[in-house]
Amino acid sequence: MFRKLVETSTIEVDGQRYVVHYFEHRTARGARRYSCEVLLDAADRIILDDDSITSLKAKVARLAPATVYSRVLARTAAA
């Protein structure tokens, strides 16, 4: 499936900004699906998807900070 970039934005977590790319693609049945990539660093991304761009943005606002904080906890626990 081909993805079309529909929007690029940023999200701020604890003073750090992360780039978010939103994509649209069509399913085999012709329905629209939306996905996004939150770029934490060059080798670390969060990928989320949903049926609408509005609910996807709400999901990003809720899950991106939790994921960033869990990465911080994992680094301190490993040290």
Which tens digit of pLDDT belongs to each residue from 12-45?
Answer: 998 999 999 999 999 989 899 999 999 998 899 9
d(CA 67, CA 39): 12
Residue 40 CB-density burial (10 A; 0-12 exposed, 13-18 middle, 19+ buried): middle
- The phi and psi torsions of 6 (rounded to 5 degrees) equal -110, -20
Range of the domain at 24: 4-78
Please report which confidence band the pLDDT of residue 5 belongs to, taking 50, 70 and 90 as the band edges.
very high
| Residue 8: per-residue pLDDT | 98
| Residue 38: per-residue pLDDT | 96
**For the residues 43-59, what does the mean pLDDT come to?**
95
Q: Taking the model in full, what pTM does it have?
A: 0.87
Counted domains in the chain: 1
